A and B are shown apart, each in its own frame.
Chain A
Amino acid sequence: MQLNPSEISDLIKKKIENFELSTQAHTEGTVVSVTDGIVRVHGLSQAMQGEMLEFTGGIFGMALNLERDSVGAVVLGSYQHISEGDTVKCTGKILEVPVGEALLGRVVDALGNPIDGKGTIDTTETSPVEKIAPGVIARQSVDEPVQLGLKSIDAMIPVGRGQRELIIGDRQTGKTAIAIDAIINQKGTGIKCIYVAIGQKRSSIANVVRKLEEHDALAHTIIVVASASESAALQFIAPYTGCTMGEYFRDKGEDALIIYDDLTKQAWAYRQVSLLLRRPPGREAYPGDVFYLHSRLLERASRINANEVEKLTGGKVKGKTGSLTALPIIETQGGDVSAFVPTNVISITDGQIFLESNLFNSGIRPAVNAGLSVSRVGGAAQTKIIKKLGGGTRLDLAQYRELAAFAQFASDLDESTRKQIERGQRVTELMKQNQYSPMSVAQMAVSLFAANEGFLDTVEVNKVLAFEAALQSYMKSEHAELMANINATGDFSSEISTGIRSAIESFVKTHSW
């Protein structure tokens, strides 16, 4: 038998010393039936909606259905030992999870218990899992960017702090890859990340954790796991748990980024719970409140103003806004975005990044469909230089898409059409980016500048990426100061413009790729 770290005799002694006896009145009920994690309890007349219920053996549940003579509850954990006639106690508390800085770098389950084998988590505060989103007065508009480090996204579909940007696509189109790159790119920016894995294979979660560790990005990240083997109730709760942990940073005047991977599985888990609770099924057998399930979750991702932060911290933090940016992920079946859950989440979020499997298979990775992807509020938050340079990219690609069908008759086309097609091909090529290699603002600016100003036009299409790589390493070694300047200010002045131009010109003259 293994000794638990909390079983050291000194600790036990201290706990006994500090143990406060409480003779509290509580309400009790008896279990009437147990079916697939759903428990019907007779009694418990005082139970609140969403209240934690205590079962025998220290397992907790959550009251979801309050009926006249019974309470329908989900068991959060294993329910094998619960049998008919067991007593159930009300705890008088709404479900709460631990929050705080101590969670960073850890992997926890949907109730905030550590599952990474690194010992107990030293948190002092807890916070309810279900909270109402900040009101209208508390909010501030989105005007600062979150750099995901991906050229195609930061240039064309920018994400601002406090925005909800959906990542949608079929299986195997690189949805998680975008999320992981986004987390890796937040290293050193002060943005805390929360990655919520819902209904995923444990092996893929282990992969994500390992990749983040390899890229030194776990230290600013909390990973909340409700894997496919855990009960549907935990999979349904996990996003709210992650959101509560993220709100802690938002309410402290810091910035956080949360990734829900993915909400389709959460909707499935909720559908299972609802059907077992005998709530009437609606479209695609989802319950009537599946829209509210996601809208109340995503509403909590927001930017709050300095006054609200001051109020929430009791005056400790002044003059700082807080934000929680959400990147929910939805998996579609066969590219069908008109299914129930995808349409719901598309309408809730402030834009979507649409990934396509045929783009992915033809080697365009990230497989972003620039035509269908939008960001409704990110434009206001975009870094000036990227906004200036990225506008051209979007236009080039849009024109290219219209003409792409003619690309095979290249010889019969007039000069300007041919040029547009060639530009489009090169820009499409330029938008490719390897996984785990996010780019800084300056690096992106240089690449986009080269495309906009026609430096790529003389480069062969299949050499574009090699050209870019050589250019980036040249800029890094020869013009470090200029790059640092761009990264620091993000402005696009004529000075910077001429700086980049002369740098690229000298690169083209002196280097091969």
Chain B
Amino acid sequence: MSELATLARPYAVAVFKRAKETDSAKTWSKNLAFLATVLTDKSISGVIDDPKVGTSALSTLLLDICEGQLDQEGSNFLKLLIENNRLSLIAAIAEIFETYKAEDEGSIDVGVTTAFAFTKESKQHFNATLEKTFGKKINMKIAVDLSLIGGVLVRAGDQVIDGSVRGQLQQLAQRL
């Protein structure tokens, strides 16, 4: 996982810089997401891994599939990945690109797990508090998990704020 990120980073950085130059972060985001879905599809990945399929055949095939979905730069990027034999990195590239994009826009993806669903007001209130703590705009993804027993668990990147009853019980168990 970590090795993938190391390999994917230069591609993601290059794409992000190009997107900033041409002010096309949104289209790139869509392109990468589309490529990721296509390339991780089972039947396609089978063809990619097939040693009998040459690079030229593969690139015509993939460009045909993506016809109409990718702009010129997008298909250039795809060709580059085929040439460097790095198609397997596409999911990691898309992920890193998204984090750069979010950082640039001053927003942050936050996963919030609660024991009970939020009411509308409490959600708004919670959102405001999180915005204050992180100092960024919050893209909240809420999930309900009864096993937390109570409270909330906030996850942003590898930062975790554990305010759940389950976590507190774990702390207590450890102290004893």
- Scan B159-175; emit 1 where CB is below 8 A from any A CB, else 0: 11111000010011011
Which residues in chain B, 114-153, are within 8 Å of chain A measured between CB atoms? none
Q: Is the C-beta of A409 less than 8 angstroms from some C-beta in chain B?
A: no
Interface check A1, CB cutoff 8 A: no
A40 to B157, alpha carbons, bound, how many Å?
18
- In the complex, identify which listed stretch (A65-73, A121-129, A244-252, A303-311) lies at the interface while the others stay far away: A65-73
Query: Is A43 in contact with B158, judged by CB distance below 8 angstroms?
Result: yes
Instruction: Decide yes or no whether B56 CB sits under 8 A from chain A.
Output: no
Q: Say yes or no: A16 contacts B158, CB within 8 Å.
A: no
Q: Chain A contacts of B157 at CB under 8 A?
A: 43, 45
Does A81 lie at the interface of the complex (its beta carbon under 8 Å from any beta carbon of B)?
Answer: no
Contact (A25, B160) CB under 8 Å given A32-B2, A67-B2, A70-B2 = yes
CB <8 Å contact, B172 and A40: no
B176 near A29 with CB under 8 A, answer no
A69 in contact with B2 given A16-B172, A19-B172 (CB within 8 Å): yes
Is the Cβ of B158 less than 8 Å from the Cβ of A25? no
Q: Is A194 an interface residue (CB 8 A)?
A: no
Query: In B77-136, which residues have CB < 8 Å from any A CB?
Result: none
A476 to B175, CA, bound (A): 57
Interface footprint category on A: 20 to 34
Smallest Cβ distance from B135 to chain A, in angstroms? 13
Known contacts: A12-B176, A15-B175, A15-B176. The answer to whether A23 contacts B2 by CB under 8 A is no
Asked if A26 lies at the interface with its beta carbon under 8 angstroms from chain B, I say yes
Chain B residues with CB below 8 A from A29, complex form: 158
Residues of chain A within 8 A (CB-CB) of B2 are 32, 40, 42, 67, 69-70
Residues 38 to 79 of chain A near chain B (Cβ within 8 Å): 40, 42-46, 58, 67-70
Q: A67-B2, A68-B6, A69-B6 are in contact. Are A58 and B174 (CB under 8 A)?
A: yes
Q: What is the distance, in angstroms, from A468's C-beta to the closest C-beta of chain B? A: 60
Check A26 against B160 for contact (C-beta < 8 Å).
yes
- Whether A27 sits at the interface, judged by CB under 8 Å, is yes
Contact with A along B11-29 (1 / 0, CB 8 A): 0000000000000000000
A69 adjacent to B160 (CB under 8 Å): no
**Smallest Cβ-Cβ distance to B133: which chain A residue:** A25
Distance A402 CA – B153 CA, assembled complex (angstroms)? 79
Of the candidates A24, A32, A58, which one forms a contact with B1 in the assembled complex, judged by CB atoms under 8 Å apart? A32
Given the contacts A32-B1, A40-B2, A45 and B176 also touching, CB distance less than 8 Å: no
Q: Is B38 an interface residue (CB 8 A)?
A: no
Q: Which residues of A contact B9 (CB under 8 A)?
A: 68-69
A12-B176, A15-B175 as given contacts; A42 in contact with B1, CB under 8 Å: yes
Asked whether, in the complex, the Cβ of A22 is within 8 Å of the Cβ of B171, the reply is yes
CA distance A477 to B9 in the complex (A): 83
Would you call A21 an interface residue if the criterion is a C-beta within 8 Å of the partner chain's C-beta atoms? yes
B171 to chain A, nearest CB (A): 7
Q: Contact between A25 and B161 (Cβ–Cβ < 8 Å)?
A: yes
Q: Does A491 lie at the interface of the complex (its beta carbon under 8 Å from any beta carbon of B)?
A: no
Q: At the interface, yes or no: A130 with Cβ under 8 Å from chain B?
A: no
| Contact assessment for B161 and A28 in the assembled complex, using a CB-CB cutoff below 8 Å | no
Residue from B5, B155, B161 within 8 A of A69 (CB atoms)? B5
CB under 8 Å from chain B, chain A span 439-466: none
Q: Which of B155, B159, B168, B176 contacts A21 (CB 8 A)?
A: B168
- Give the CA-CA distance A351 to B3 in the complex, in Å: 47
The complex places the Cα of A42 from the Cα of B6 at a distance, in Å, of 11
Residues 155-199 of A at the B interface (beta carbon under 8 Å): none
Which of B160, B168, B175 is in CB contact (< 8 Å) with A28?
Answer: B160
In the assembly, what is the distance between CA of A24 and CA of B1, in Å? 27
Rounded to whole Å, the gap between the CB of A475 and the closest CB of chain B is 60
Chain B residues with CB below 8 A from A46, complex form: 158-159
A70 to B168, CA, bound (A): 28
CA gap between A19 and B170 in the complex, in Å: 12
Determine the distance from Cα of A58 to Cα of B2 in the docked complex, in whole angstroms: 25
Chain A contacts for B171, CB-based, 8 A: 19, 21-22
Asked if residues A25 and B6 are in contact (CB atoms below 8 Å), the reply is no
**Closest chain B residue to A41, Cβ basis:** B2
Looking at the complex, which one of B158, B161, B168, B174 makes contact with A44 (CB distance below 8 Å)?
B158
Residues of A within 8 A of B168 (CB): 21
Complex Cα spacing A45 to B175, Å: 26
20 CB < 8 A contacts A-B = A15-B176, A16-B176, A21-B168, A23-B162, A23-B163, A24-B162, A25-B159, A25-B160, A25-B161, A26-B160, A26-B162, A28-B155, A28-B158, A29-B158, A46-B158, A67-B2, A68-B9, A69-B3, A69-B6, A70-B2
Chain A to chain B: the 5 pairs with minimum beta-carbon distance, closest first:
A70-B2, A43-B158, A69-B2, A69-B5, A23-B163
List A residues at the B interface (Cβ < 8 Å).
Answer: 12, 15-16, 19, 21-30, 32, 40, 42-46, 58, 67-70, 89
